[in-house]
Structure 1
Amino acid sequence: MTNPLQQAGEYPFQETFQELAIPILIILATFVAYYAISYYMKSRVQGTDDYMVAGRTIGPFVNGSAISATWESLATFMGVIALMVQVQIPFLAVWTNFLLSIPLIVILYGQTLRRLGSYTPATFCKDRYGNTMSVVMALLIVFVMLMYALGQFIGLAQIAEILFGWDYTLSLFVIAALVTGYVVIAGMWGVSYNSALQFWVMLTAAFIPMMFILNQLGSSGWFFPPLGYGDLVPEMQETNPGFFDMTYDTRWYFAMFLAMALGPIGMPHLAQRIFTSRDVEAGRKTVFWFVAVTGLMFATVYSVAFAGVYWLGQEGYEVAEADFDKMIFYLNFAFSGDTITGYVVAGAIAGGLSTVSGHMLAISAAVANDVVEAFEIDITEDRKTQFGYASVIAAGLIVALIALNPPAFLVVSILWAFAISAAAITPTIVLGVWSARVNRYGAIASSVVGFASVVVLSPHLFSGIGAGGEGLTADLGIDAIMIAFPLSILTFIVVSLIAERIDALDVDPESNRSLINEMHGYPDDDVDRFTSAAPLIVLAVLMLPILWWGIQPW
C-alpha cells in the first residue's frame, strides 16, 4: 500500500543535504579544475578557427567524450530520469534514436562541410544558398540553442536552490557568470577538454554510487550497474507490473526517430564537435568513442531510473511527479549519504555546464561568424574573435534574463528544440549536401514551414490547436513532427523544382555542381553528380504516406 504524498518536504526519506561542507568542497574543486583547463588552453587561441573549432586538432578519445558530454546535458541526470520513471520502458526509444544522431552527422554531412571549412550550418547555407538563407539559418540556430540552453540554466539554478537553499535568482546569475567565464577564456579549446573531463565526472557520479545502491537493493550484478539490475526484474514485475509495457501508439515511436535521430543532425553545437577532429579518419574514430561512452552512460542512467522505481515500490513510497527529476539525489541520500551525493550533484552540474557551453559557442558562432559573413562586414580576424567573446557574454546574459521568468512549457523545451531542428534545419543541410536541384527558394520555404508547423501544432503556444496523441506524449511537444517533417521536405522539393521553371528567379542547378563536387572531394571534371531530380521525387513520394499517417487521429 503506497503512502500518497503531494509535495516535497513530506517524504519519509532525506531530500536535502544535512552536512554541506564536503559537498561544497567537491563542487568547488570541479570548478577550479574547469577554470584551470580553460586558462591553460587560452594561449592556443590565435584566431577564429582556434576559438570556434579548436584549430581542428582534437583527438578522437577526447572529442568522443566531449561530444557525449555536450549531447547528454543536465537532462540526463534530472529530466531524463524523471521521464524514464514516468514513461518507463518506452522511453528507451528516445535514447536508441539519440545514439544514431552523431554517426548520421558524420555520414550525411560532417566531412563534406569540413572540406568547405564551415564552422556552422549557417556558414554552409551562405555558400550553398546565399546570404538570405544564411541569416534565416542563424536565427533558427539562435532560437533552438536558446530553447536548449534555457533548460540547462534553470536546472543548474534549481540544483543550487533546492539542494543548498540558495535564492533562485542569485543562483541563476552565479551559474551564468561561471559558465560564461570559462567559455570566454578559451573558446572551443577549453570547452572541448573541459567537456571531456565533465563527461567522466558525469559517468563516475552515476556509475559508482549505483554500484553501492544496487548492492544494497540485493542485486548480484551490482558491480556493473548498466546490467546489474537484471536479476531484480522478477521483483519489479511484481511491484510495478506495467513497467515493461510498450503502451504508446506506433506513431509516437516513429516520431521519436524523426525528432531524436534527425533533430540533432541540425544542432550546431554537435556538428562543431565533428569539425574539431584532426582529419577524416579521426572523425570516424571520434564516432566510435562517442557511441561507446554514450551507450555506457545511458545504460547507467537507465539503471538509476529502474532502481528508483523499484525502491519506491519496495518501500511503499509515492513521490509527486514534480519531484521525479530528483530521483538520483533521493536514491543517493537514502543509500549513500551526503558526501557521495555531493559528487553526484557535481556530476549533474558537469552535465549542465558541458551542454550550455556548447550552446553558447554555437550562438556565438551564429552571431559573430555567420551574421558578419552574411552581411559581408569587413572586419579584421582579431576583431571577429573579440566579437565572438562579446557574443558569448551576451548569450549568457540573455539566457539568464529569460530564465528569470521562463515560459510555462520550459520543462520540455529541450525536446521541443529537437523537433524544430528536425523540421526546419536538418532538411536544408542534408538535401543541400546531396542534391544540386534544391535551391535557396526551397530552403527558405522549407525552414519557415517546418518551424511554423512545429510551433503551431505543438501544445505549448496555441491552445486548441494540436496534432498527435493526448496526455504525456503530446505534452512532450514531439508529436507535431509527424506532420512538420514531411511537410518541410515536400515544401523544399516542390518549391525548388518549381523555382527552376520560373525564368525571373534565375535558378541554375548547374551552378551548384562544382560546389557540391568540391564538398564530396571530387575534382572539377565536369561530371554530372547529384543533379538528378529523380531522388528528390522519390523522397517526396515517400513523405506523403508519413504526412497522411501523422494527420490521422491517434
Structure 2
Amino acid sequence: MTKLLQQTGEYPFQETFTDLLVPMLIVGATFVVYYGISYYMKNNIKGTDDYMVAGRTIGPFVNGSAISATWESLATFMGVVALMITVQIPFLAVWTNFLLSIPLIVILYGQTLRRLGSYTPATFCKDRYGNTMSVVMALLIVFVMLMYALGQFIGLAQIMEVLLGWDYTLSLFAIAALVTGYVVIAGMWGVSYNSALQFWIMLTAALIPMMFVLNQLGSSGWFFPPLGYGDLVPEMQESNPGFFGMAFDTRWYFAMFLAMTLGPIGMPHLAQRIFTSRDVEAGRKTVFWFIFVTGLMFATMYSVAFAGVFWLENQGYEVADADLDKMIFYLNFAFNGNSVTGYVIAGAVAGGLSTVSGHMLAISAAVANDIVEAFELDVSEDRKTQFGYASVIGAGLVIALIALNPPAFLVVSILWAFAVSAAAITPVIVLGVWSARANRYGAIASSVVGFVTVVLLSPHAFSGITAGGEGLTAAVGIDAIMIAFPVSIITFVVVSLAAERIEALDVEPADNASLINEMHGYPDDGVERFNSALPLIVLAVLMLPILWWGVQPW
C-alpha cells in the first residue's frame, strides 16, 4: 500500500467527492443560517458588555453547548482522530483532563471574577496587579489565541480546498472572510447562539453517520456509537492488541494533567463563555450541560478512531500518517457515500467556525478593551465597540497571513498553546484570586518565566534544547510543562514574598485584602482571610519534587 501511494498518490478507496451538488447545498445552507442568526442578534448589541459577553444573559443549555463547540474545534473531527489512531487508548487521558477544566474555571475563579465585573484575564490583572501586568496578560492572550486559531484556519481552508477544488490561498482567504464577517456582525450574541447550533451540527454529523458505519462493520450496538463498538473489541485485540496498551511514561500522563486541565483554566475564550451566564446558578448548570454534551461528543469521536483502525486492519489498507486526520471522511466515503459525507464536512466546518470565532473575540477583547483600559485612554463606549469590530477584522487578516506560510510546529500548535497558558496565565489568575500575598512583581516574573521556559524547551522552537521524552511525546510539545509549570509557581511565590521585604517596591499585602474579600463576597469587616503566606510556601515546596521529576530523562 505504501508503495502504491508513492507511485500513484492514490488510495484504493474514495478520497474526494465525485458529486458536489448535495454537499455544496448542505454547507451553503449552514452558512446562510449562521449569518441569519448573527444578523438577527445584531440588534442586541448596545455596548462592549453586549459585544464581549452577550450582556451576561445566555442560558445554561445554550451556553453549555456553545462552550463545548468552542472548546472542541475542527481538531475534533480531524487532528484528534489522527492522534487517537496514533496514541490509541492513552488519548483518553487527554480528554479526561479536558473535561476537568471547565468545572475548575467555575470553582477557582468564575464566581469571583463575575463579582469583580471582569470578563477577560487582562481586565482582572489590571484591577488586581496593575497596568503593566494587564498589558503582559493581553499580549500572552493574543499569542495563545493566534496559536490556537492558526490550525483552525488552515484546516478550514484545506476542507474548502478539497470540497471546491480551489487553490489553497484562495480557500484560505475565502474562509477568513466568511468567519470574520459573521463574528463582526453580532459579537458574542451571535457567536453564542451560532456555536450552540454548531455543536449539534458537529455531534449529529459524527454520531448519525457512525451508526451506519458500525452497522456495516458488524457491530450489534451500532445504534449508539459511543459504546456501540464494544462487541468488536475481541476482534480488535486479535488484529491490533497494541490499541489498548498504556504505553507511555507516567510523566506523560501527569504532563497531560498540567497542560490539558490547568491550561484551559487560563484560556480567555473559555472563561468568557462562563461569564456570559445569567448568574452563578446558571453558570453551574452550564457546567453540567457542558460535561454531558462534550462527553457524548468525545465518546463518539473515539468510536470513529476505533472504526478507522478496525477498518484499515480488516481491509489491509495502510494510510500515511499525514492523511490520518481525514479518517472520518474516508470512513464515510467508503460506507455512506457523497451526500452523507457532505454533512460530515459541514460538521467539521462548524467545529472550525465555533472555535475560531471564540479566539477572535478573545483577541478583540485583549486589544480593544484590555489595552485601552491598561493605558487609561479616554475612549467612549461606542468607540470601544468599534475597536472591537476592527480588532476582529485585524485578527482574521493576521491569522490568514500567518497561515500562508505556517510554522513547522503547526500540527501541535494547539497543544503548545495549552502548555503556554498553563505556565504563564493560569497561575497569575488563580493565585491572584486566592492569596493577598501574590503581588504584581511575582505575577509578571511568573508569566515571563513560564512563557520563556515553554518556548525554550519545546522541540518546535529550538531543536537543540528539549525536555522530557522522545518520539511522539516530544513531538506533541507538552513535555516542557513538567518543568515550566513548577518553575512558574516557584518564581511567583519567591518573587512575591521577596518583594514585600524590599521597601522601595512599596508592596503592602493589606492593600489587596479588601479587593479579594470583595471578589469572594465577604464584607469589608477587617477580618484577615487570604493574608497568610503559608499556603504559598507549601505550594512552592510541593512544586520541587515535580520539577525534579520533570528534569529526569524519560
Interval containing the TM-score (normalised by the shorter chain): over 0.9
Q: Is the 8 A contact 1:5 1:320 kept in 2?
A: no
Corresponding residue for residue 378 of structure 1: 378
Q: Is the 8 A contact 1:93 1:256 kept in 2?
A: yes
The one-letter code sitting in structure 1 at the alignment partner of 2:257 is F
Corresponding residue for residue 365 of structure 1: 365
Q: Is the 8 A contact 2:456 2:465 kept in 1?
A: yes
Q: Is the 8 A contact 1:17 1:164 kept in 2?
A: no
Corresponding residue for residue 16 of structure 1: 16
Whole-angstrom CA distance in 1 between matches of 2:132 and 2:126: 8
Corresponding residue for residue 40 of structure 1: 40
* Change in CA separation of 1:5 and 1:248 when aligned onto 2, cut-off 3 Å: farther
Whole-angstrom CA distance in 1 between matches of 2:178 and 2:460: 31
The one-letter code sitting in structure 1 at the alignment partner of 2:392 is V
Within 5 Å, give how 1:454-469 maps onto structure 2.
454-469=454-469
Q: Deviations over 1:356-402 (max 9, x none)?
A: 00000000000000000000000110000001000000000000000
Whole-angstrom CA distance in 2 between matches of 1:279 and 1:9: 55
Structure 1 residue 69, shift from structure 2 partner: 0.1
Corresponding residue for residue 89 of structure 2: 89
Whole-angstrom CA distance in 1 between matches of 2:316 and 2:388: 53
Q: Deviations over 1:406-441 (max 9, x none)?
A: 101111000000000000000000000000001000
Corresponding residue for residue 189 of structure 1: 189
Corresponding residue for residue 520 of structure 1: 520
Q: Is the 8 A contact 1:56 1:276 kept in 2?
A: yes
Whole-angstrom CA distance in 2 between matches of 1:124 and 1:48: 16
Q: Is the 8 A contact 1:16 1:164 kept in 2?
A: no
Corresponding residue for residue 440 of structure 2: 440
Instruction: Please state if 1:393 is matched with 2:393.
Output: yes
Whole-angstrom CA distance in 1 between matches of 2:492 and 2:382: 38
Within 5 Å, give how 1:217-228 maps onto structure 2.
217-228=217-228
Q: Deviations over 1:237-283 (max 9, x none)?
A: 11111100000000000000000000000000000000000000000
Corresponding residue for residue 278 of structure 2: 278
The one-letter code sitting in structure 1 at the alignment partner of 2:425 is I
Structure 1 residue 3, shift from structure 2 partner: 6.3
Whole-angstrom CA distance in 2 between matches of 1:199 and 1:111: 25
The one-letter code sitting in structure 2 at the alignment partner of 1:544 is L
Q: Deviations over 1:302-355 (max 9, x none)?
A: 000000000000000000000000000000000000000000000000000000
* Change in CA separation of 1:5 and 1:142 when aligned onto 2, cut-off 3 Å: farther
Q: Is the 8 A contact 1:151 1:413 kept in 2?
A: yes
Gaps of at least 5 residues in structure 2 are none
TM-score, with normalisation over the residues of structure 1?
0.99
Whole-angstrom CA distance in 2 between matches of 1:408 and 1:151: 12
* Change in CA separation of 1:3 and 1:444 when aligned onto 2, cut-off 3 Å: closer
* Change in CA separation of 1:317 and 1:3 when aligned onto 2, cut-off 3 Å: farther
Secondary structure of the corresponding residue to residue 242 of structure 2: coil
* Change in CA separation of 1:86 and 1:5 when aligned onto 2, cut-off 3 Å: farther
Q: Is the 8 A contact 2:130 2:440 kept in 1?
A: yes
Secondary structure of the corresponding residue to residue 539 of structure 2: helix
Q: Is the 8 A contact 2:5 2:11 kept in 1?
A: no
Aligned length: 553
Corresponding residue for residue 415 of structure 1: 415
Q: Is the 8 A contact 1:3 1:316 kept in 2?
A: no
Corresponding residue for residue 69 of structure 1: 69
Secondary structure of the corresponding residue to residue 15 of structure 1: coil
Within 5 Å, give how 1:50-199 maps onto structure 2.
50-199=50-199
Whole-angstrom CA distance in 2 between matches of 1:71 and 1:87: 21
Q: Is the 8 A contact 1:5 1:319 kept in 2?
A: no
Displaced runs of 4 or more, over 3 A: 2-9
Corresponding residue for residue 28 of structure 1: 28
Structure 1 residue 4, shift from structure 2 partner: 5.5
The one-letter code sitting in structure 1 at the alignment partner of 2:520 is H
Whole-angstrom CA distance in 2 between matches of 1:377 and 1:173: 33
Corresponding residue for residue 551 of structure 1: 551
Q: Is the 8 A contact 1:4 1:318 kept in 2?
A: no
Whole-angstrom CA distance in 2 between matches of 1:525 and 1:175: 55
Whole-angstrom CA distance in 2 between matches of 1:212 and 1:491: 54
Structure 1 residue 531, shift from structure 2 partner: 0.5
Whole-angstrom CA distance in 2 between matches of 1:230 and 1:538: 45
Corresponding residue for residue 504 of structure 1: 504
Whole-angstrom CA distance in 2 between matches of 1:384 and 1:3: 56
Corresponding residue for residue 326 of structure 1: 326
Corresponding residue for residue 229 of structure 1: 229
Q: Deviations over 1:137-173 (max 9, x none)?
A: 0000000000000000000001112343211000000
Q: Is the 8 A contact 1:210 1:225 kept in 2?
A: yes
TM-score, with normalisation over the residues of structure 2?
0.99
Secondary structure of the corresponding residue to residue 11 of structure 2: coil
Corresponding residue for residue 338 of structure 2: 338
Q: Is the 8 A contact 2:144 2:420 kept in 1?
A: yes
Whole-angstrom CA distance in 2 between matches of 1:310 and 1:110: 42
Whole-angstrom CA distance in 2 between matches of 1:3 and 1:464: 32
Identity within the alignment, %: 86
Q: Deviations over 1:426-461 (max 9, x none)?
A: 000000000000100000000000000000000001
Corresponding residue for residue 304 of structure 2: 304
Q: Is the 8 A contact 2:489 2:540 kept in 1?
A: yes
Q: Deviations over 1:510-541 (max 9, x none)?
A: 00001000100111111101110010011001
Secondary structure of the corresponding residue to residue 530 of structure 1: coil
What is the root-mean-square deviation in Å for CA atoms of aligned residues? 0.8
